[in-house]
Structure 1
Amino acid sequence: MAIIKVIIPAYNEEKAIGHVIAAIPKIVNEIIVISNNSTDNTKAIAINAGATVLSENKMGYGYACLKGLGHIASQEIKPDIIVFLDGDYSDFPEELTQLVTPIIDENIDFVIGSRVSTLREKGSMTPQQVFGNWLACFLMNLFFDAKFTDLGPFRAIKYQTLLDLQMQDKTYGWTVEMQLKILKQNFTYVEIPVRYKNRIGVSKVSGTLKGTIMAGIKIISWIFKYTFK
């Protein structure tokens, strides 16, 4: 049976994190929550819910993910699959089984949960998120003949594949960096349509003008960096 570990970056998600952890299927061997400089009760709630909780004081999605990977690297028994999941309860964690199935059954390297419009709750993605996702995927498809439709944060990947990607981005560009490196290194990938609902609380990225602009700049810069590399 595949060893599966979940990495959840979380910044002040005390109202959501317990729901997220509770909804994760029992096939998961370890749930790793990285408190990214949280000032609320995120850590305590996650611990009480049964997660392994780490702290990363450097703000940034990538910093948090790399912290989780550092924890896994220190363990004697390595996982087969890593799943990344947001801590705001906008995804449906129970759909994790759908994401890991192509890896287990078909030997696919990377699976994205695509937040298709027909399965998205109204208002769950801001207009700037929808446009940003479309633009990023359009450019990847144009330059790399990709088939991506989303930069969805709910994703599963073989652990060895993830190591081979040598991820670097510390902030907003983590998701697009992963997809670009999958394309450049010719790993196999598929998308699985997933449901998406309004998050609990306010987004720290798309919910602010600064976050939206910074994320957009980082995503586009990664795409052009790899296009002309």
Structure 2
Amino acid sequence: MPNNPPIIDVIIPANNEEQSIGHVVREIPGIVRSIVVVNNNSTDTTAEVARQAGAEVVDEPIKGYGRACLRGIAYLLNKETPPGILVFLDGDYSDYPGELEKVVAPIIHQNVDLVIGSRELGIKEPGAMTFPQVFGNWLSTRLMFVFYGVKYSDLGPFRAIKWEKLQILNMVDQNFGWTIEMQIKAAKHGLQYREIPVNYKKRIGTSKVSGTVKGTFMAGYKIILTIFKYL
């Protein structure tokens, strides 16, 4: 790390992740200032478990992945000193939180603006990603290349971005289009981006998106819609 390392904060959207959220929070490296778990309409003990593990918990009662991320950002805006880098990852323990240091490294050492942790470039546990997820990533990243000229292999949720650049993007999506909105807007604003390999394992519990036919369809529909929205 440099002599004056940037402040790093983490946002974790979480909907009914009481079995996994404690593992995620405890395994995040100590280089971060704040771990913000956004309790997104959970009906279990997600908030309590997250607090016990050491996270700061804020509530977003209306369900929505993007909405939860936006609530976490609003919470950090009220801190006296904003972060220099903001990291997003999921609360289902499918990511490896200990890889956070390598996710932020290109920003710290190479002045990159946005880093996407690519599951396609890393090692995936068999069955960790469903066929619709794999196909959706393939199709979405190729459409982004065709229409926006950027080369991605994944829409992975484990990502890091400079705080000042995030403000420029003016993120608005409140649901499944959040990740691809960020990547498209980064391209339109000329942000320097990098993909790095991250490993991926089967999540704890059932996915709210890929675990149901409706969730898979709605996520795919929203992602494709977002791609054409910003043309």
Normalising by structure 2, we get a TM-score of 0.97
State yes or no: 1:181 paired with 2:185: yes
Query: Could you tell me which residue of structure 2 aligns to residue 18 of structure 1?
Result: 22
State yes or no: 1:153 paired with 2:154: no
User: How many angstroms does 1:100 deviate by?
Assistant: 0.5
Asked whether the 8 Å contact 2:122–2:198 carries over to 1, the reply is no
Amino acid across the alignment from 1:35:
N
Q: Distance in 1 between matches of 2:59 and 2:124?
A: 31
State yes or no: 1:86 paired with 2:90: yes
Instruction: Show CA shifts across 1:199-224 (max 9, x none).
Output: 00000001111111111111001101
Query: Could you tell me which residue of structure 1 aligns to residue 169 of structure 2?
Result: 165
State yes or no: 1:8 paired with 2:12: yes
Amino acid across the alignment from 1:145:
G
State yes or no: 1:36 paired with 2:40: yes
Query: Could you tell me which residue of structure 2 aligns to residue 201 of structure 1?
Result: 205
Asked whether the 8 Å contact 2:123–2:198 carries over to 1, the reply is yes
User: How many angstroms does 1:143 deviate by?
Assistant: 1.2
Local SS of the residue matching 2:38: strand
Q: Find the partner of 2:131 among 124, 127, 132.
A: 127
Q: Distance in 1 between matches of 2:169 and 2:80?
A: 21
Instruction: Show CA shifts across 1:83-105 (max 9, x none).
Output: 00100000000000001000000
After superposing on structure 2, the runs of 4+ consecutive aligned residues of structure 1 that deviate more than 3 Å are none
Local SS of the residue matching 2:183: helix
Q: RMSD of the alignment, in Å?
A: 0.8
Query: Could you tell me which residue of structure 2 aligns to residue 140 of structure 1?
Result: 144
Normalising by structure 1, we get a TM-score of 0.98
Q: Which runs of 5+ in 1 are unaligned?
A: none
How do 1:207-226 and structure 2 match up within 5 A? Answer: 207-226=211-230
Q: Are the structure 2 counterparts of residues 44 and 118 from structure 1 closer, same or farther at C-alpha, using a change threshold of 3 Å? A: closer
Q: Distance in 2 between matches of 1:162 and 1:145?
A: 20
Pairs aligned (count)? 227
Instruction: Show CA shifts across 1:20-75 (max 9, x none).
Output: 01110000110000010001010000000110001101110011001000001111
Q: Are the structure 2 counterparts of residues 14 and 111 from structure 1 closer, same or farther at C-alpha, using a change threshold of 3 Å? A: same
Q: Which runs of 5+ in 2 are unaligned?
A: none
Q: Distance in 2 between matches of 1:32 and 1:114?
A: 23
How do 1:26-105 and structure 2 match up within 5 A? Answer: 26-105=30-109
Q: Distance in 2 between matches of 1:122 and 1:71?
A: 37
- Calculate percent identity across the aligned residue pairs: 57
Q: Distance in 2 between matches of 1:144 and 1:153?
A: 20
